[in-house]
Structure 1
Amino acid sequence: MMQLFGYDTINTLKVLMLLMETDAEFEFVPINIRAGEQHKREFLDINPAGKVPVLRDGSQHQTESNAILMSLAHKMNWGLPEDPKEYGCMISWLFYQASTQGPHFGQIEYWNKLAKQPNTRALTHLRTIANRTIQHLDDQLKGRQFICGKNYSIADISLFPWLHIHDHLGLTIKGVNNLELWLERIGRRPASMKALAFLGSNSMFDKKIE
């Protein structure tokens, strides 16, 4: 059985969404990153980068959330567009999410919620970039159900979690109707709701790795 090492994080949510979509059997192994468990030798032997999530499948360990999405999608034959143009679109969005959306939205969360000392200038700058990202996504979703066309793919899964918590980040999607509809469309999928509910069970995150 596959094992998912993760915590209540955006990148763990991505992988859970795909696992729920495919009804895959897996064991969840919580790594309490707020208690520093990702720096313990037991976990560093699994991922020397000290990051979650990690997917163990047999003797193989896959790291980096979007790479895990790709590996799982191929394994489960799910969420990969058959049309070459849509497939290329999906790859581009996975890289965009990892290089642009993820880092900037993550920094907003840090300065907005986690930093001991505020940095208003940095937060304003990052929110400006995030708002451009929101507008860009809204523009690309015009006339589309999903980010690469009519088919739901792992590109949509990769982009959804940060946007799902836009209120938490102090961002707004008011008036960007294409993006609002897209978020609602993904959020009401049974697999999305199951993944969000799974991470909402906070008691599991008290467990320590042995």
Structure 2
Amino acid sequence: MIDLYYWPTPNGHKITLFLEEAQRAGAGLDYSIKPVDIGAGDQFKPEFLRISPNNRMPAIVDHAPADGGAPISVFESGAILQYLAAKTGLFLPQDLRSRVEVEEWLFWQVGGYGPMLGQNHHFNRYAPEKVPYAIDRYQRETERLYGVLERRLAGREFVAADTLSIADFACYPWTREHEWHYVDLSAYPNVQRWHDALSSRPAFGRVYEMGKAYRADRTMTDEMRRHLFGTPAPIT
């Protein structure tokens, strides 16, 4: 059994995408969602910080690790994807060159595509005052990164290797938010083709339907703003 500490954000969706596609592949893992309402400050609770010291979700606890020992907790979405791929033998190729390719694009996402698009969201949508330099800087970087992905997907069905992989699970949830960072996918036809093909997969549809049960809208309250942007993690 996997306990998944989750909230329906792009990073949270990465893990439910893996788990739902694993079930579709016939090697699914039983998992239980433990909601972490980041707008209410659940990420700062001591019991959550014990498994995710960076006070960010997602995180998992694997109660049946491969070594047969005590439960293992894993935080950071990229590390979780790698862990689940190793555990199941799914979505990460075994041959050296394909595996390196997948991991390159996984780290491209966690190191750039996600953080830069997240800053775009923040300064365009959530910042209490408009900062033109920041808005322009992150919009330009967003468009640059979409260009990188557009070139990568030319003539390709998936981001890396020749099949669905953890690189796709990492990149798709952020691309799905294209309207939130003011990107018209029609300007990136290869990205749109890939995005639309993944969107049509039943497991991807289930993931986003599941997410609706946890967050009905994106109305930002002062309390949410404080928890998301202004509350430091406890030192003790």
Residue 26 of structure 1: which of 5, 10, 31 is its match? Answer: 31
Aligned AA (1:13) = H
Equivalent position to 1:192, from 185, 204, 224 = 204
- RMSD (Å) for aligned C-alpha atoms: 1.6
**Deviation digits for residues 73-116 of structure 1, max 9, x if unmatched?**
11111101234222111111111111110110010111122211
Task: Point out which structure has higher relative CO (alpha carbons under 8 A, 6+ apart).
Answer: 1
> Any gaps of 5 or more consecutive residues in structure 2?
24-28, 64-70, 217-236
State the aligned residue count: 205
The equivalent of 1:102 in structure 2 is: 114
Q: Which residue of 2 aligns with 1:50?
A: 55
Q: Secondary structure at the match of 1:62?
A: strand
Which residue in 2 is equivalent to 1:201? 213
* Runs of 4+ with deviation above 6 angstroms: none
CA shift, 1:150, in A, is 2.4
Partner of 1:208: none
Alignment correspondent of 1:207: none
Residue 20 of structure 2 contacts residue 207 of structure 2 at CA under 8 Å; is this kept in 1? yes
Paired residues of 1:134 and 1:173 also in contact (CA < 8 A): no
Letter in 1 for 2:180: H
Look up the match of 2:43: 38
| Percentage of pairs with the same residue | 29
Q: 1:203 offset after TM fit, Å?
A: 6.3
- In the alignment, structure 1 segments of 5+ residues that lack a partner are 205-210
Aligned ranges 1:1-210 → 2 under 5 Å: 1-23=1-23, 24-58=29-63, 59-202=71-214
Shift of 1:20: 0.3
More deviation in 195-204 or 3-12?
195-204
Q: Deviations over 1:43-83 (max 9, x none)?
A: 11222221101110021101100110011011111101234
Structure 1 residue aligned with 2:232: none
Query: How far does the alpha carbon of each residue in 1:106-160 deviate from its partner, in whole angstroms, 9 at most, with x for none?
Result: 1011112221112222111111111111111111111111112421111111011
